[in-house]
Amino acid sequence: MKLVLLGPPGAGKGTQAAMLVKKFAIPQISTGDMLRTAVSGQTPMGIKAKGYMDAGDLVPDEVVVGIVRERLQQVDCATGFILDGFPRTVPQADALKLNLVELSKELDAVISLDVDIDSLVERLTGRRSCGDCGKGFHLKFDPPGADGKCDVCSGELKQRADDQEETIRKRMAVYHQQTAPLEDYYRQAGLLIAVDGMAEITSVQQQILMALQVA
């Protein structure tokens, strides 16, 4: 299964990707996670990306296109992958198309998660993730068993630096300008599956599996 998860910040891409990873035993490719790893490791790419991410702007296309291109060539992507947070611009989508042609692969579907703006802000301000294993939580919608601790590994839960209201508004604007056009792009390619992302986490998952006809 070769999938793209499309949707604004907080739509539930990471949450749904984690479930799809288990269902299909294929890797999640999150450009946001890869960039955050580079930032914390202070690699040359991380140093370059940090300013854009802190400001809520997109990192330049050539940077993310390069990391995804390399990642797709690794053996664990042979049977499929879930792209989470990539592509985010039309040039990125064009580059992905070329990469997949080179690899003789084709996308099966692009799942677009629709969520209204007020809910997005609430989701992002309450988002936490484990500093050790990366598992995501929400203070209200998906709370951990013990305050501030990961259910899986007892690691400390952290809030992302860019999940502050001002940066969130900026990221929403960037999404509408630069990423939303991809909905039409993939609709025209006959790949778009629109899912109601306002539903509960498990029922969003059910909708996705039904649309992929694997429920």
Per the CB < 8 A criterion, the answer to whether 167 and 87 are in contact is no
Q: Are 130 and 150 in contact (CB under 8 A)?
A: yes
When the beta carbons of 104 and 142 are compared against ligand ADP, the nearer one is 142
Out of 153, 189, 210, 214, which residue is the one contacting Zn ion (CB under 5 A)? 153
- Alpha carbon 155 to its chain's center: 22
Token digits of residue 30? 């999150």
Residue 144 binds ligand ADP, judged by CB under 6 A:
no
Catalytic positions, written as ranges: 13, 88, 127, 160, 171
Query: Cα 122–124–129 angle (5° rounding)?
Result: 130
Cα separation, 85 vs 88, whole angstroms: 7
Contact between 192 and Zn ion per CB under 5 A: no
Binding status of residue 207 toward ligand ADP by CB under 6 A: no
Q: Of 143, 172, 137, nearest to 8 (Cα)?
A: 172
Residue type (1 letter), 173: A
Minimum CB separation of residue 9 from ligand ADP in Å reads: 3
* Among residues 15, 28, 112, 207, the one that binds ligand ADP under rule CB under 6 A: 15
Q: How far is the CB of 79 from ligand ADP (least distance, A)?
A: 23
Residue with smaller CB distance to Zn ion, 32 or 197: 32
CA distances from 155 to 66, 137, 147 (A): 32, 12, 11
Question: Does 152 participate in binding Zn ion (rule CB under 5 A)?
Answer: yes
Residue numbers of the site for ligand ADP (CB under 6 A)? 7, 9-15, 31-32, 35, 52-53, 56-59, 64, 85-86, 88, 92, 123, 126-127, 136-138, 141-142, 162, 171, 200-201, 204
